Each structure stands twice: as structure tokens, then as C-alpha cells.
Amino acid sequence: SQELEQSPQSLIVQEGKNLTINCTSSKTLYGLYWYKQKYGEGLIFLMMLQKGGEEKSHEKITAKLDEKKQQSSLHITASQPSHAGIYLCGAVHTGGFKTIFGAGTRLFVKA
Amino acid sequence: ETGVTQTPRHLVMGMTNKKSLKCEQHLGHNAMYWYKQSAKKPLELMFVYNFKEQTENNSVPSRFSPECPNSSHLFLHLHTLQPEDSALYLCASSQDGENTGELFFGEGSRLRVL
């Protein structure tokens, strides 16, 4: 099994709807990162979470890190076509130095 | 200029060809990385360079050969690749090689091996 599991693998939502993407780690996290990737392009950093219970927002995107620091959720409010892309969570585990990534969640927003 | 620039953006090569991917960062960072992204698989870390020294080789086959002449430039030399090596190759940089901060990615080089 992968060290970072993302769910769902893909998601189709109607414009204006809310959605949530989850990222679960098999190990305690030192830091959790959310990136967005437009299809076939590089990754754009969204936010980083480190403290258990931490919550950050970037425009209409909010991410939380649970208290036990092994799971994060990313929530998009009132989705727009511009939100479409691949959302990847990346993590550095406690005692580790490499950023590993989940397989990504492909988001499609129907206008 | 964008922060991290990769060339070429697209490359098609035969299994007997030799080609190179280039990455340049204009952010003053000290660490640079090569990642491989295949369809529906997690990003795979290939190599890490910190202050021009290779600090990570993630069991990458020898047909991939990295080169880091200075902190701003990173190359990936390709030789006798296999069709399964077709993927998006992403270069990234960070302030340091501790990898505890944000990674800045290039747009990627889409490689197809015939």
C-alpha cells in the first residue's frame, strides 16, 4: 500500500457545489503540503500544514490537518471551472527528509 | 522569467537515442530535484541535489544520469530508454535540501519513448 492515500481518485462536480478531498498517511506527519496541477503541467503550491488541528485557507480552498497528524482534508467551496485540475498531497514524515506524494485527485467541474 | 524553467517541454525519442532534459531555477535555491510522473501513479522522487552534491538516488536505473554543474542548473541525461520510461519529468527546487518547505516545480518535460 502507498504511504499516502488520496481519495477520491477522481471527482466530477457541478459548478457551485462544494467538495472535499482526503489525504491519509500511514505515518505521523512532520508536514503536509497541498499542490494543484493543471493537466500536463507543473505543480503549484497551495498551502502547508504542520500543527495538529491546523487549518489554512487560500481563496475558496481550505485545508485541515487532523489532531493526530495523519490525515488532511481539502475543501473547496462553491467550485468553479478554474478549480479543475489534479490536487496532490505531499508529505514529509516525522524523522524523514523526502517529500512523498499521493497519486492525486482529478477534479472536473461542469459548467 | 518563471522560477523554474524546463526544456524541452516535449520530447520523442527512440530507445537507442541519447537526449538530455534541462532545468534552470532563478530563485536562488540550494536544492534541486527530479521527479517522474506516470499516469495514475504517485510522483516518484528520482534524484536530489543539495548544494550541487547528490544526496538522494532513489534506485533509479543507470540509463538516467543526472548532472548538477551548479545550484541553478540540473540536467537529466537519457540513454537507451525503454517505452515504460515515457512519463512527465518534473524538476523542482527548494531553499534547502532538508525538504521541509515548499517545492517549486517547473512545467515538466513530457517524454515519449518509442
Integer CA distances (angstroms), B8 to A43, A64, B20, B34, B87, in order = 17, 37, 9, 15, 13
| H helix or E strand, kind and range, residue B49 | strand B44-50
Residue from A109, A107, A111, A110 nearest A36 by CA: A107
Q: Choose from B100, B104, B109 for mutation: most chain A CBs within 10 A.
A: B100
Q: What is the pLDDT of residues A57-90, one digit of tens each?
A: 988 999 999 978 799 999 999 999 999 999 999 9
CA A97 – CA A18 distance, rounded (Å): 34
Give the length of chain A: 111
Q: What is the pLDDT of residues B17-70, one digit of tens each?
A: 899 999 999 999 999 999 999 987 888 999 989 887 887 777 899 999 999 999
DSSP code string of B70-93: ETTEEEEEEES--GGG-EEEEEEE
CB A76 within 8 Å of CB A47? no
Give the sign of the dihedral formed by CA B100, CA B102, CA B104, CA B109.
Answer: positive
Query: How far does A64 lie from chain B, in Å, by closest CA?
Result: 17
Percent of chain B's residues with pLDDT above 70: 94
Query: How far does A26 lie from chain B, in Å, by closest CA?
Result: 15
Owner of C-alpha cell 491519509: A24
A47 interface with B at CB cutoff 8 Å? no
Q: Choose from A3, A4, A43 for mutation: most chain B CBs within 10 A.
A: A43
